[in-house]
Amino acid sequence: MKLNSRYGRAGVLSLLFALTLLFGYLLGATTSRPLALAAQASATSTPLPTATLAPGDPIPLKPLTDLTSLQAAVQLNVNGEVNGQRTQGALNADIVTNLNDQSKITVTGPLLGDIVAQVGGAAVSLFKPSQVEIYKMPTGAYIVVKSFLDVCVKPNDPQATAATDNLSPQALLTMLTSPEVARGKLVGEETLNGVKVKHYIVSGPAFLAAAQNSRDPNLKKFGSALWSADDAHVYVSAEGYPVAFQGSYSGEFEPLKFKGDFDVRIDLTDVNQPVQIALPRSCNNPITP
């Protein structure tokens, strides 16, 4: 695909940079701490204690690599500043992955255009994307920006591919399985969205201390940028897989010039079902920066 002006092409490249930086760092980094699941509101449980908890015992979790495929929904809510500009809103990501080294992430939400424009600059504001799709295929990573026209970008920068790798559910939940941070207290067994689960609470202060002293440089970097972390909620299925996660945090993201409050919710919606992922037509002739 060819754009009609150098300015338009510059906008696409700026948008690419903004998206990979935003989603790769923001979502990838948030996995470094125990997140709580999106559907906490629908869980049939009594109000949870607000007192600070001890670190607790390691939460028994099976690795997601045992699954042949999965689908997950992620919601990120922020309230603070991006690059010195007031920002408040949500980003939503629906994630699908399969055994064929393929994944697709669809990102929407009222915050999408706001943050991308602020991070990417004036040229990006021309596009005002309503939706962004990020594909990881054996042939590489592809980013599809849906606006007044669909633009497909195939970045050559290995860092862009690494950023999309961080968006996979496996990457988002890998940190959760680490005994360094996945320690909590079992508070009961419940029914969440029709599924029997065990409900754990992870102490926010204990997580923060563990993250800031982690041997994992990425986790340590994330924890060091936080001001505080609330107690998180982890829901585990009878099979031992994390079903839902929810966590609230305050801190800074220097690569995004973000500071303020944010919370992340992850909901594992389906596993081990046949999943087909295909690139859209716009990626037949992608832009290659």
Q: What is the pLDDT of residues 144-201, one digit of tens each?
A: 888 778 888 888 776 665 554 554 556 656 665 577 888 899 999 999 877 899 999 9
Indicate whether 209 pLDDT > 60. Answer: yes
Per the domain annotation, does 212 fall within a domain?
yes
Q: What is the per-residue pLDDT for 155? A: 81
Q: What is the per-residue pLDDT for 232? A: 92
Per the domain annotation, does 288 fall within a domain?
no
Indicate whether 255 pLDDT > 70. Answer: no
Per the domain annotation, does 34 fall within a domain?
yes
Domain that holds residue 104: 6-283
Mean pLDDT for the chain?
Answer: 74
Nearest-angstrom CA–CA distance, 42 and 267: 12
Stretch 80-95: mean pLDDT: 85
Residue type, 281: R
Q: What is the per-residue pLDDT for 82? A: 78
Stretch 110-127: mean pLDDT: 60
Per the domain annotation, does 139 fall within a domain?
yes
- CA 79 remoteness from chain centre: 17
Q: Write the DSSP symbol of residue 68.
A: S
Q: Number of helices and strands (H, E) in the chain?
A: 6, 14
Per the domain annotation, does 1 fall within a domain?
no
Nearest-angstrom CA–CA distance, 69 and 133: 19
Q: What is the per-residue pLDDT for 160? A: 60
Per the structure, the count of domains in the chain is 1
Residue type, 267: D
CB within 8 Å of 243: residues ≥ 6 apart: 37, 192, 195, 197, 235, 236, 237, 267, 268
CB within 8 Å of 249: residues ≥ 6 apart: 30, 33, 226, 228, 229, 230, 261, 262, 263, 264
Per the domain annotation, does 214 fall within a domain?
yes
Q: Are 206 and 55 in contact (CB under 8 A)?
A: yes
* Alpha helices (H) in 139-251, listed in sequence order: 158-165, 169-174, 204-212, 217-224
Q: Using the structure block, give the residue that is written with the tokens 């923001």.
A: 26
Q: What is the pLDDT of residues 35-81, one digit of tens each?
A: 333 333 344 444 444 444 456 788 888 877 777 888 888 888 889 98
Indicate whether 26 pLDDT > 90. Answer: no
Nearest-angstrom CA–CA distance, 229 and 234: 15
Both tokens of 218, joined, read 């990425």
Longest dimension (CA), the chain: 60
Model confidence band, residue 122 (pLDDT cutoffs 50, 70, 90) = low
Percent of the chain with pLDDT over 90: 18
Percent of the chain with pLDDT over 70: 67
Q: Decide which of 280 and 12 is more confident.
A: 280
C-alpha distances out from residue 265 to 135, 245, 279, Å: 21, 6, 27
Q: How far apart are the first and last CA of the chain?
A: 12
Q: Using the structure block, give the residue that is written with the tokens 């869980």.
A: 43
Q: Using the structure block, give the residue that is written with the tokens 């699908």.
A: 96
Nearest-angstrom CA–CA distance, 149 and 114: 18
